[in-house]
Structure 1
Amino acid sequence: MSGHVFVVGADLTRLSCDDVLVPTGRSLRISPGWCPLVPGELITESGDEGACVRLSWDADERVLEVPGGGPRRAWLVDTVDDEGRGLPWLLDGAREALAAVARREVDHPAHGRARRLVGLPALGTGWGGAAGRRGALLQELLPVLHEAAREHGFDVALVLKRPSDLAAAQRVRRAGDGGWDLPASLHRLAEQLGDRARCGQLAVFLGAGVSAAAGLPTWEQLVGELADRSGLDGELRAGLVRLPAQDAAALLARELGSEALASFVSERFGPGPYALAHALVAGLPVQEFVTTNYDPLVEQAANDVGRGLRVLPFEQARPGAPWLLKLHGDAAHPESVVLTREEYLRFGDSRAALAGVLHSLLLTRHVLFVGTSMLDDDLIRIAHEVRSALQVQRSGRAHRSGTVLALREDVARARLWEQDVETVAMAGADVPSAEAARRLEVLLDLIGCLSTPPTGYLLDPAYRGLLDGEERALADALVSVAGLVPEGGVPGAGQEVAALLHRLGHGSSPAGEPPGRGHDPDPDSGPDPDPDPGPEQ
C-alpha cells in the first residue's frame, strides 16, 4: 500500500518521526543543529563550524545508520558533491538512504501512527550538492520521494523551514500529482478551506486528539494516569468512569493533593517533540488559534518556522501577529490549569472573558475544529450562546460557523451539532482509528498546499528556474525596486514596500552559491541558533 509524501515547515529534531535523514559529507561533519539526533558519545570536535561524528564510511557507501536505542533512528547521508556530479548523484543518495531505512523493521510506528514516518530536509541545499539550485532540486526530489513512498509503503515528510522553500515546493506539487489519496468530497472540502485560509477567514480550534499523536494523553487517559498515581483501590477506581470528567478529576485531586496534581500536569504536558499534525496546522496561513490543550506543542511548531504565536492570556496580542488562546490553561502556568469542577467554577469570570474570544471567532470567522470530540462543556455552552444570538438576529435561520474534522462517522453527534457546524468524518466505522487519523493528516497537508501563497519564492534567486517568462520579467522589475529601498525600509511607505518584497522572497538566499564551506553539511530544517540567522547558518 502506497505511502504519502508530506511537505511541512518544522524542525526535524523536534518533529516526531521514526527515522530522520541527516546530511553530511565524507568528513562526517554535521551542522550543530543536527547534534540532538546523534548520541553525545559519538560527537567530537563540536563547535560553530559543525561537529564530527565518530563513525566511518565503508568504501563508497553513502548512508550510515547512527547507533542508538531510542525509537527514532538517524541516518547520515553523504550530500556534499566535491566532484561536480550534479543532481542525479544527489538523488541517487536519497534513493539509497530511503531503501536503507526500509530495511530496518519497525513493528510499531511512534505513538500508534498507522504508518512509519521518515523525515528529511531538502538534501544538499545548504552547502551540499544542490547549493543555489533549490528549484531544480525540488522538481527532481519530490518524484523520488513519491517513488520511495509507493515502493516501501512508509510516509515521508519533506521538512522545510524557509517560506520561499515551502512556497516553491507547494507550487511544484500543485503543478503535478501531489498524491493525495482522498475521496472527492475531501478534495472539495480542502479547496473550500484553503480558499478561506487565503482570504483570512479561517481560524483553528485544536483539541486533545492532535496532541495524542505526539504521545500525550486524551482526557480519559489522563484520568487513568492520575488514578494510577493516586493508588485508588479497585472499587473507587471503577467508579471514576461513572463520574462526569470534572468530578473524576476533583476526586483524584483530593487524593493526590493540589501541589502534586499541578506538578504532574506541568511535567506531563511540558515541551517535547510535536506531531506532524501540529506542524501542518501551525503552517496554515491562519492568524487565530484556540485550544483546550495544556501543552506548548503547537506554539513550538509555529515558532520553528518563524511564526511566533502570542499565547493568550499570558501574553499581549500584537497587531498583525498570530495568536493562540488557551481556554483551559497552560502547563507552563500551573495555576491557570482548569481540570476539576471547582476550578471550572472558581475561574468562572476570567474564563467567560476567554470564551468571549471564541464567541467572536464563531461570529466572524469559519472555525476549523481539529482533534476534538465536541463534548467539552465550554464548547457546548459557547456554541449554544452563539446559536441563540444568531437566531435572534436572523429570525431563526441556521448558521454554520465551522467545520469539525472527525475521525470516525458518528451520525448522532453530527446531527446534534448540525445547526452550528458541519461534521466531516475521515472514515467509516470499519476503518481503524489510526488510519483515520492518518487520513486527517493527508487532508491537512492538502489544505496547506492549496492555501500557501503562490508568490513566496518570486524574488528568491535559488528558484528563478521555476519562473516562466512573465514571472521573470516581473521579478526583475521588483528587484530593481528593491535596490531603491534602504535595508529595513524607511518609516511609512518604505517599510510597507520592504515587507512586501520580503514576503515575495527577497533576501531569502544569496545571489550565488553559498560561502565556501566545502565539507559543511546542509543546515536546513534543524534548529536555528539565532532567532533570525539569515538564509544560511
Structure 2
Amino acid sequence: MSGHVFVVGADLRRLVCDDVLVPTDRSLRVTAGWRELLPPGLAVGEDADGLCLELGWRGSERVLEVPGGGSRRLWLVDTAGRDSDDTLPWLLDGAREALAAVARREVAEPVHGRARRLVALPALGTGWGGAAGRRGTLLQQLLPVLREAAEEHGFDVALVLRGPSDLAAAQRVRRGEPDNWSLPDHLRRLADALGERARRGQLAVFVGAGVSAAAGLPTWEQLLDELAVRSGLGEALGEGLARLPAQDAAALLARELGREQLEAFVGERFGPGPYALAHALIADLPVQEFVTTNYDPLVELAAADIGRDLSVLPFDDAEPGRPWLLKLHGDSAHPASVVLTRDEYLQFGDSRAALAGVLHSLLLTRHVLFVGTSMQDDDLIRIAHQVRSAIQAPGSPPRRRSGTVLTLREDPARARLWEQDVETVAMSPPGTPPAEAARLLEVLLDLIGCLSTPPTGYLLDPAYRGLLNDEECALAGALAHVEAGMPAEAGTSATAEVAALLRRLGSRRCAAGTEPVPADGATDTADDRPQEQRPG
C-alpha cells in the first residue's frame, strides 16, 4: 500500500519520526545543529564547518547509517561537493539511494504505534549542496522522487521545511498535482471548505489529547493509570478506582499523592519534548486562535519552530496581530493551574468563566475545528450548550453549526447528539484500525494546510523565481523596485506596514535582522538551521 508525502514546517530535531536524513559531505561533517541527535561520542571534533564525525565511507556510496540504538535512526547523505549543471540530478539520485537504504532497515513497529513508518528529511542540497539559489526547481523535482519512494516502499515521508518561502513554494507545487492525497471524496470536499475558511481568517482550532497521544503522552485514562501506580493504592482501592467517574478518580488520587506531588508529576510528564506530525501540521495552519485542554507545550513549540510566537493565555498578554493559544485546563509550566479533579472542574465553571468565554466567542464568531477530542469533556458540553442557548430562540429551527469535529471512527449516536452544534466527520468506517484512522487524519490536515497556505509567500524570493508565470514575474519585478527603495529602518507606521507586506511576499531584504541577499539567492540566510545544513 502506498505511503504519503507530507510537507510540513517543523524542526527535525523535535519531530517524532522513525528515520531522519541528515545532509553531510565526503569529510563526514554536519553542522552543530544536529549535535543533540547524534549518539554520545560520535562527534570527535568541531571546526568552522561543523562537527567532525568518527565515521568513514566504505566506498563510493552516498548513504551511511549512524550507529547507535534508539527508535529514531539517523542516515547521513552526501549532498555536497557538486557545483555544476548536473547538481540537481545528482542530489535526486542521493535522495533515492537514501530512501532505498532506509527501506531495507526492518522496523517491527513504528514510533508510538503509528500506522506507517515516518521518514523525515530537509530540502536536500540547499546549503552547500549547490541548490540554494534554485529551491523552486529542486522542490519541483524532489517531490516526485519522494512520492515514488513512498509508493514503492510503503512508508510515509515528511519533507520538513522552515522558511515561509519554502513552505509556500512547496504547497504551490503540490496544488498543481491534485492526486497526491489518498482521501475519500467527502474528506476532500471538507478540506476544500476548511482550507477556504482558514484563508479567510474564519477558522480557529481546538486541540485535544488525541493529538498529543501521537507524541507519546498519555490520554486521560492512561494518565489516571499512571497516577494510580505512583500513588501505590491498595488492590481494593485500585479496582474501585476504575468504576469512578474520571474527575472523582483524579480527586482520590490527588488526595493520596498530595497536591504538591501531583503538580510535580504533571510538570514532569507533560513538559517540553518532541512533538507529533499532527502538532506541526496544526501549527502551520494560517490560524490566529488556538484552544486546548492539553497541559503540554507541544503546539506552541511546533509553532515557534516555524517563527510563530504564540501568546499562551491566560499566562501571557494577548497582543494585537499576534496569534494565541488558550490553555483551557492549565499548563504544565504552571502546575498549580492544572484542572484535574472534580472540585477543580466545578471551580472552572465559576472562577474560570472568563476562559470559557473565549471559547464562547470563537464558537459565535469563527468556525472551530476540533481535533483529537471525543467531545465528552464536561466543560466543552457546557460551553456548547451555552452557545446554543444564546443564538437559538426557543422553538426556532437550528442555526448554523459552529464547528467541525474530526473523529477517528464513526459514532452515529454521538454525531446525532451534537448535530445542532457541530458537524462530526469520521476519518474511517467501523472496523478500521485506530492507527490507520489517525494517519488519515494527518493526511487530511496535510491537505487543509496545502489548500490554505497563501500562494504568494515566495513571490520576492529569488530562489523561487523559476516557479513564477509571466504575470507573476512582472508583478515581482515591480515589487522589487519598491523593495529596493525601502529604508533600512522603518521610520513611520506606513513604512513598517509595507515592510511587513514585503516580508509576507518572501522579501529577504525586509526580513527583520537579515542583510540583503544577492539577486541569484546564493547567500543562504538559513545555513545554520538543522533543516538547511551547510553540507546539503
**TM-score under structure 1 length normalisation:** 0.95
365-374 vs 40-49, which moves further: 40-49
Question: For residues 103 and 297 of structure 1, what CA distance do their matches in structure 2 show?
Answer: 32
Deviation at 1:350, TM superposition (A): 3.3
- The C-alpha deviation readout for 1:457-513, integer Å capped at 9, x for no partner, is 000000001111111111011000111111243312211111111100011765335
Aligned pairs (5 A) from 1:232-247:
232-247=233-248
Quote the Cα distance in structure 1 between the aligned partners of 2:394 and 2:310.
Answer: 34
How many angstroms apart in 2 are the aligned matches of 1:397 and 1:265?
41
Q: Does 1:264 align with 2:280?
A: no
| Counterpart in the other structure of 1:147 | 148
Distance in 1 separating the partners of 2:395 and 2:502: 43
Partner of 2:514: none
Who is 2:21 aligned against? 21
> Which residue of structure 2 lines up, in the alignment, with residue 511 of structure 1?
519
SS in 1 for 2:435: helix
Q: Is the 8 A contact 1:159 1:525 kept in 2?
A: no
Question: Could you tell me whether the CA contact under 8 Å between 1:22 and 1:74 is conserved in 2?
Answer: yes
| Residues 90-148 of structure 1: per-residue CA shift (max 9 Å, x gap) | 10000000000000011110111000000000001122131211001000000000000
In structure 2, give the amino acid aligned to 1:44.
V
Offset of 1:372 from its aligned partner? 0.1
> After TM superposition, which residue ranges in structure 1, 4 or more long, deviate above 6 angstroms?
none
How many residue pairs get matched?
A: 528
Matches within 5 A, 1:204-353: 204-353=205-354
Percentage identity across paired residues of the two chains? 73
1:12–1:526 contact (8 Å) kept in structure 2: yes
Q: Is the 8 A contact 1:32 1:48 kept in 2?
A: no
Deviations 1:163-185 (A, max 9, x none): 00000000000111451000000
- How much has 1:27 moved relative to structure 2? 1.3
In structure 1, the residue matched to 2:136 is 135
> How many Å apart are 1:345 and its aligned residue?
3.0
Residues 287-316 of structure 1, C-alpha deviations (whole Å, 9 max, x = no match): 000000000000000000000111000000
Task: Read off the aligned partner of 1:62 and give its amino acid letter.
Answer: R
Compared CA separation, residues 278 and 126, structure 1 to 2 (3 A): same
Contact 1:124/1:522 (8 A) holds in 2? no
Contact 2:125–2:535 at 8 Å: present in 1 too?
no
What is the alpha-carbon distance in structure 2 between the residues aligned to residue 340 and residue 357 of structure 1? Answer: 22
1:23 CA displacement: 0.4
1:375 CA displacement: 0.3
Alpha carbons of structure 1 residues 2 and 510: separation in structure 2 relative to 1, 3 Å = farther
Alignment of 1:297-446 (within 5 A): 297-392=298-393, 395-446=396-447
Give how far 1:346 is off: 3.8
Residue 463 of structure 2: SS of its match in structure 1?
helix
SS in 2 for 1:40: coil
Does 2:183 align with 1:172? no
Aligned to 1:532: none
Residue 60 of structure 1 is matched in structure 2 by 60
Match of 1:36 in 2: 36
Q: Distance in 1 between matches of 2:523 and 2:432?
A: 51
- Asked whether the 8 Å contact 1:33–1:527 carries over to 2, the reply is no
Closer, same or farther: CA 512–169 of 1 in aligned 2, 3 Å: same
Q: What is the rounded CA distance, in whole Å, between the counterparts of 1:101 and 1:346 in structure 2?
A: 52
Instruction: Please tell me the residue identity of whatever aligns with 2:186.
Output: S
* Structure 1 contact 18–117 (Cα < 8 Å) conserved: yes
Q: Secondary structure of 1:374's match?
A: coil
Code of the aligned partner of 2:272: P
Mapped partners of 1:370, 1:70: distance in 2: 30
Structure 1, 75-84 or 59-68: larger mean CA deviation: 75-84
How far, CA to CA, are the matches of 1:30 and 1:536 in structure 2?
Answer: 6
Q: Which amino acid aligns with 1:184?
A: D
Is the partner of 2:180 in helix, strand or coil? coil
Q: What CA RMSD, in Å, does the superposition of the two structures yield over aligned residues?
A: 2.0
Alignment of 1:487-502 (within 5 A): 487-502=488-503
Do 1:12 and 1:119's aligned partners in 2 also have CA atoms closer than 8 Å? Answer: yes
Is the aligned partner of 1:189 residue 2:190? yes
Q: Distance in 2 between matches of 1:527 and 1:258?
A: 45
SS at match of 2:339: coil
Give 1:50's aligned residue. 50
Contact 1:9–1:160 (Cα < 8 Å) also in 2 = yes
Deviates more, 1:56-65 or 1:359-368: 56-65
The aligned amino acid for 1:146 is R
Does the 8 A contact of 1:65 with 1:75 survive in 2? yes
The residue identity in structure 1 corresponding to 2:487 is P
CA contact (8 A) 2:129 2:535 kept: no
User: 2:31·2:535 contact (CA, 8 Å) conserved in 1?
Assistant: no
Distance 1:106 1:177 in 2: 31
Secondary structure in 2 matching 1:282:
helix
Separation (CA, whole Å) in 2 of partners of 1:290 and 1:467: 37
Alignment partners' CA distance in 1, 2:21 and 2:490: 39
The amino acid that maps onto 1:34 is W
Q: Is the 8 A contact 1:208 1:372 kept in 2?
A: yes
Q: CA 1:178–1:165 in structure 2 vs 1: closer, same or farther (change >3 Å)?
A: farther
Q: How far apart in 2 are the matches of 1:8 and 1:275?
A: 11
CA distance in 1, matches of 2:95, 2:179: 19
Distance in 2 of aligned mates of 1:224 and 1:339: 14
Cα distance in 1 between the residues matched to 2:36 and 2:532: 10
> Which whole-Å CA distance do the structure 2 matches of 1:293 and 1:138 have between them?
35
| Partner residue, 2:88 | 87
Amino acid at match of 1:434: A
AA matched with 2:449 = G
Distance 2:48 2:337 in 1: 40
Range with greater deviation from structure 2 (46-55 or 191-200) = 46-55
In the TM superposition, residue 395 of structure 1 has moved relative to its aligned partner by: 3.8
Q: TM-score, normalised by structure 2?
A: 0.95
How far is the alpha carbon of 1:39 from its aligned partner? 1.3
Counterpart of 2:361 in 1: which secondary structure?
helix
Letter in 1 for 2:148: E
Structure 2 unaligned segments of length 5 or more: list them. Answer: 512-516
